[in-house]
Chains A and B, each alone.
Chain A
Amino acid sequence: MWPILLPLIGTIFTFLFKRGGAATISLVTVSAITLAVAGLTRQVLQHGEQYYAVGGWEAPLGIALHADGLSVLMLIMTTIVGASTSVYAMGYVFQGPRAGSAVGGYFFWPLWMFLWTALNVIFLSADIFNLYVGLEILSLSAVALVTLEGKPAAIVAGMRYLLASFLGSLAFLLGVALLYTASGTLELNSLGTRMLSNPSSGLALALIMLGLALKTALFPLHFWLPPAHASAAAPVSALLSGLVVKATFYMVLRLWFDVFPAIATPAVAQILGALGAVGILWGSILALRQQQLKLLIAFSTVAQIGYLFLLFPLSNGMTEIGLDAWSGGVYFALTHACAKAAAFMATGTLVYALGSDRLDDLPGTFRRYPLSVAAFTVAGVNLMGLPPSGGFIAKWLLLTSALNSGQWWFAVVILAGSLLGAGYVFMVLSRMLLDQPQSIADSKQARPVTLTTELSALALAVFVFVLGVTATPLIALLRIGAPF
């Protein structure tokens, strides 16, 4: 329970005392959440899956919470990315609606604490309506965080994000209403056992998957993502690309295996996989065509989300191969969260320093801001999926399950995506490492940056390699309560 309550308490205090202490309060909250998540992880490791009846009312009357390996791994991901982003945000200069008024900086903390609450609510919920409530907090705080930057581009992108996101929420809610009327329960497992194959559950599946795909930015519903993620403030972009799309993906995953196995046919899984595959290629190709750094990384997110959805066709059949694909997809989400957040943080520092996010303005940055360039490089290695990064492990699992299940075309897409990924990472790196006379980085125009921002990005990026080494125990943790 504490992982949910603590960020909520953090929200109240950062809202009340925003002038001076908000950042300090957040750091206290971050430490407390870390302890709570560590405690829960220990509990799950020792005693297996955990159930909790809120208010002492058992489901279906009350709301059930549920923690298994998957939930715990998502909580750990949120804690690590959240903690480093919090440290980063302390050193980051927010623009706000009026430059100098620092309104943006004040409101970042309560909004981020709300977002964190929503993430933990979603990862621990075993109730489909409770998931919807979590989704509501998630979307609203994410949109407010985008518009925090205050520039017209951010407001427009935020508005588009808001509309897309609420369309997704409404579709989800309609699906929930259909399921509840048909089965008389909101608890995930009993929904799954009472699932009948008829037009109403079919429409519920379609609505819920469509709503969540829209929120996760699965191709071709990704149109809102690049402007929103690219125009937000750097710590916000890190949170959005790292965590927010993972939360909605987690919901797809949870519902797919707990609620819909009776009616989710291989054909539906193939559709999701095909959209993911097209997303990988489309996102990567568009990333290669960008001239602006943050847009490039945002399109890379579109591509990487595609990999997550390969999990569905590859894990079909509930066998050992399926387990590999499932673990690979989840591990991919975990490593991508860390790598992409680190990439956004590192480039955010550079964009602030140079006052520009054009690729052509990057030369010379390696000498003046070596830590940020190093952070981007390390994160980039993961995006390409090279060993010994965690991304390599995840891609390897997906690749072997593609070959073992005889779906070689997905293996081709995974390899092609990695090549294209290497292309856009090198496109950025080659410019960062270029030694050019009269570059902005060497001129007086370039602003000094704080060590906090540079180091927090680097630490998070290096952590991706830790994930490469600790894959075995983490995947063992993931298998506690796995659907296979």
Chain B
Amino acid sequence: MLKLTAIWLTHLLPGLLVTIFGIFLLQAVIALPAQPVGLTTEVQRELPNSGVTNPVTAVLLNFRGYDTLLEIAVLLLAVVAVWSLHVVPLRTGHARYVAETPVLAHLVRLLAPVMILVAGYITWIGSARPGGAFQGGSVLAAAMVLLLLASMIGIRPRQRWPLRVVAVLGLAVFVVIAGGTLVVGNQFLEYPRNQAYALMLVLESVLTISIGGTLALLFFGAIPETASFETMNDEG
């Protein structure tokens, strides 16, 4: 009897709730207009004024650049949140995730340069075709994680400030550009017409590096601590 109640609570009740929710959702989706109105026409109309030809990039960096600014803030926030939780002591000068097999080392040697090239290309092409900083940054992050795993790059003790700079770079440049638009008398994040493309390209490039670095830092799962903290840890 007790067992039955337990099954009811852990399996059947959630299942029932999900089913009811599913029915409501189905009903809601059916009620939606068959041809969603959307904002495609508005985006297409203003696209020539945005500085780029890829509508997705235009929305992300220009029309709704403010949302993207805040999303970049979320990335930095994730790093701060993870770092505030826990500390990973670094025993040597390198990351401690070391897996030294010849296969990995060779593969990484072959892959890493190509991945970095691809990251750059994806970012560059973002102004005209699908691509951009988030996609390029993810590829860059993957390359960095591989390099870390093969211990070809590492973090030196007592040199954490470059990490902090990489994490904050994207947001800082974004904020500087946003503040700059205010200083020259434009609306917040209103790029001057002629410089829109150049500004967005600079922004995309910096964001790629920062997003790549941030995601790679999150891979550590904690703040890579320096030697001084390590000794403190050993004493305590």
Contacts and interface: CB of A to CB of B under 8 A. Distances in A.
Interface of A: 1, 5, 8-9, 11-12, 15-16, 52-57, 60-63, 97-98, 100-101, 103-104, 107, 110-111, 114, 117, 121, 129-130, 133-134, 136-137, 140-141, 143-144, 147-148, 155, 178, 181-185, 198-200, 202-204, 206
Contacts of A181: 32-33, 36, 38
A385 B128 CA distance: 61
B236 interface: yes
Interface residues of B, number: 56
Give the most central of B29, B36, B70, B80: most A CB within 10 Å: B80
A178 B30 CA distance: 11
Going nearest first, the 4 A-B pairs with the smallest beta carbon separation are A184-B37, A144-B81, A56-B190, A107-B84
Interface in B69-96: 70-71, 73-74, 76-78, 80-81, 83-87
A55 B62 contact: yes
B100 interface: no
A403 B191 CA distance: 54
Given A12-B171, A55-B65, A56-B186, A199 B27 contact: yes
Given A9-B175, A55-B62, A147-B85, A60 B42 contact: yes
Interface string B212-236: 0000000000000000010011001
Interface string B172-189: 100100110010001111
A199 B112 CA distance: 51
A198 B87 CA distance: 52
A101 B31 contact: no
Contacts of B76: 11, 15
B77 A114 contact: yes
A98 B236 contact: yes
A471 to B, nearest CB: 34
16 contacts: A1-B188, A53-B187, A55-B62, A63-B67, A97-B86, A101-B229, A111-B80, A114-B77, A137-B77, A144-B81, A178-B28, A181-B33, A184-B37, A199-B27, A203-B27, A204-B28
Nearest to B30: A199
Nearest to B86: A97
Contacts of B78: 140
Contacts of A136: 74
Given A11-B73, A15-B167, A199-B27, 7 more contacts: A5-B188, A12-B168, A52-B187, A57-B190, A97-B84, A181-B38, A199-B30
B109 interface: no
B80 A110 contact: yes
Interface in B14-35: 24-25, 27-33
A371 to B, nearest CB: 30
Contacts of B28: 178, 199-200, 202-204
Interface string B25-64: 1011111110011110011001000000000000000111
A15 B31 contact: no
A143 B168 contact: no
B197 interface: no
A55 B189 contact: yes
A97 B31 contact: no
Contact of B70 (A121, A184, A198): A121
A103 B73 contact: no
B98 interface: no
Interface string B194-209: 0000000000000000
Contacts of B29: 200
A95 to B, nearest CB: 12
Contact of B46 (A61, A100, A121): A61
A61 B187 contact: no
A107 B165 CA distance: 16
Give the most central of A5, A62, A140: most B CB within 10 Å: A62
A184 B64 contact: no
Contacts of B24: 199, 203, 206
A62 B71 CA distance: 16
Given A5-B179, A101-B229, A183-B37, A55 B188 contact: yes
Contacts of B172: 12
Nearest to B29: A200
A55 B73 contact: no
Contacts of A182: 32-33, 36
Contacts of A141: 77, 81
Nearest to A202: B28
Nearest to A18: B164
A140 B188 contact: no
A63 B15 CA distance: 39
B168 A16 contact: yes
A155 B84 CA distance: 12
A100 B168 CA distance: 27
B25 A203 contact: yes
A341 to B, nearest CB: 22
Contact of B236 (A100, A143, A155, A183): A100
B187 A98 contact: no
A396 to B, nearest CB: 39
